[in-house]
Amino acid sequence: MNLRFVETFLWVARLGSFSAAAERLNTTQAAISNRIATLERDLGIRLFERDVRCVRLTGLGQQAVAKAEELVRVANEFREAVSDPGSLRGSIRIGTIDSIAHAWLPQFIERLWARYPSVAVDLNTDTSLHMAREVAERRIDLALIMGPVIAPDIINLDLCTFACTWLASPKLNLPDRPLTLAEMADHPILAYSRDSIPHHRLLKQLADAGIEDPTIYNSNSLATVIRLAQDGIGVTPLPKVIVREQLTAGTLVALDVTPAFPPLSFHAVYSDHPDNLISAVAARMAQEVAHGFSHAQTDGASW
């Protein structure tokens, strides 16, 4: 029995169509159809009922899913345990966010390449909300985001927590004394993307302080937020660890604001499926890198 055909069966079962499985496995719909037909012929049963819109598991197909997952899991664990990691080929789709990209992502990618030099990395940067959906729908293999993600068969590994502080450009000439949230709201507030975790925390803090109709500029680009803050467009609550260069250069200054902005926690998120073993290994690598990065910081990062 061809193990690749068994893996194909699982992908069709999860995604509900030959075309979606073909996209996920980087092949053609005809190739997927041929693999399933060959597997059904070898087993002497029908695994799927087919119609023009979708495919559905037969009763025997539903019974076969658990056994197929166990078979693929054992095969992948065997491959990981005894093979040379450098000989493994394929790709891993990783989604992350700007906060991690500006912190320890390069060290993680370097370690991943050292272990799996022949595995290609498809890296995308977007919001945590979008990446959470992508990993739950199995459109990406691993997400490094603000989590956790609560969904069936999803694993969350704690990565790190970044303490946040309010920042502003010296151009704003803010007084060198303890400041209030109301004083921050006298300026445009440069915030993370709408509906993100820090955006909702900001709205709650402002509401709790009785601040109505604050001016908030949202962006899903951390580089944009930092640049606007440096140019004096507004103030922003960000992890100090990702603006170390700006603080050292003096283009941003840290402000003493009460109440403090809540810290941000990050997770490695992946699907607990038997054919996702490299993602599980990569998630643990990310955790080790995040640990090392956090412990190396003495200014604004904590574990």
In a structure prediction context, what are the per-residue pLDDT tens digits for the chain, which is 303 residues long? 788 888 899 888 888 889 888 887 878 889 999 999 999 999 999 999 987 777 889 999 999 988 888 887 777 666 665 555 566 677 899 999 999 999 999 999 999 999 888 888 999 999 999 999 999 888 899 999 998 888 878 889 999 999 999 999 999 999 999 999 999 999 999 999 888 889 999 999 999 999 999 999 999 899 999 999 999 999 999 999 999 999 999 999 999 999 999 999 999 999 877 666 788 889 999 999 999 998 887 544 433
Q: Is residue 217 exposed (0-12), middle (13-18) or buried (19+ Cβ within 10 Å)?
A: middle
pLDDT value for 150: 86
CATH placement of domain 164-262: 3.40.190.10
Cross-sheet strand order for the sheet of 154-162:
119-125, 90-96, 142-145, 264-271, 154-162, 301-302
Domain(s) labelled CATH 1.10.10.10 in the chain stretch across: 3-82
Q: Which CATH superfamily is domain 88-160+265-297 in?
A: Periplasmic binding protein-like II (3.40.190.10)
Q: Is the dihedral of CA 225, 93, 29, 16 positive or negative?
A: negative
pLDDT value for 299: 46
pTM of the full predicted structure? 0.71
The answer to whether 9 touches 37, Cβ cutoff 8 Å, is no
Domain(s) labelled CATH 3.40.190.10 in the chain stretch across: 88-160+265-297, 164-262
Greatest alpha-carbon span in the chain: 79
For domain 3-82, give its CATH number from 3.40.50.970, 3.40.50.620, 2.40.50.140, 1.10.10.10.
1.10.10.10
